[in-house]
Structure 1
């Protein structure tokens, strides 16, 4: 009983911490957090594909698609330099995630992961530059 109560309290504390981190994050940090989650979802999707755990792969890759859709929706193409190129990258990434999910194709998932990691590194660098 004690272990269960402790586990529940730890989960509640972690949830509160994460909620506070999101609520107090700058827009740049929120973007980085979102793209980091995108990378994590694709990594998990790829691992699930490699283990032939198709329901898990589907769930992770679907969440990754949702993140890319959010990135696309929040992008103001006209106000951002190279906004159209970024919109094209997001569209390509979303299409690859759909292909990877439907086709259960680890090579396509790997290509999507490579781009997601590059985007993550770029947004992380941009966020750090905006602070300093």
Structure 2
């Protein structure tokens, strides 16, 4: 088996066996990675890579927004609005090749990721 095939199998196994809270953290990790690479690509003039990473980040945010049940948590509508804002900023960043907007979204994504990572760790520690 090739190294790439082994990596793909590991990722697939990790995703299929991860608890829901960890899957959410994994999505945020990928979102932050996409934004970091997009910002670097725009900085170096590589619009193709930047654009493809921004599109992928938008897809992640749209999935997060679509699966958010705003009726079970009072902060849900606010989080849905934040996701919409982040998507809009990424659309605008892609049109203009604006790294600053990507960095703004990345800052929000990092804060959300860190909060969910902490919550997932607390759930795991409590055995729930």
- 1:57 is matched with which residue? 50
Cα deviation code 1:41-70 (max 9, x no counterpart)? 000000000001001100000000000000
Residue 81 of structure 1, CA deviation: 3.2
Structure 1: give runs of 5+ residues left out of the alignment.
1-7
How many residue pairs match? The answer is 125
Structure 2: give runs of 5+ residues left out of the alignment.
none
What pairs with 1:1-132 in structure 2 (closer than 5 Å)?
9-132=2-125
Residue 80 of structure 1, CA deviation: 2.0
Cα deviation code 1:54-100 (max 9, x no counterpart)? 01100000000000000001100001231011111111111111111
SS of the residue aligned with 2:73? Answer: coil
Distance in 2 (alpha carbons) for counterparts of 1:126 and 1:91: 23
Computed over aligned residues only, the root mean square deviation of the Cα atoms, in angstroms, reads: 0.9
Deviates more, 1:42-51 or 1:98-107: 98-107
Distance in 1 (alpha carbons) for counterparts of 2:56 and 2:81: 20
**TM-score of the two chains, using structure 2 as the length reference:** 0.94
Task: After the TM superposition, list the runs of 4 or more consecutive aligned residues in structure 1 that deviate by more than 2 angstroms.
Answer: none
Which structure would you say has the larger Rg? 1
SS of the residue aligned with 2:15? Answer: helix
SS of the residue aligned with 2:2? Answer: helix
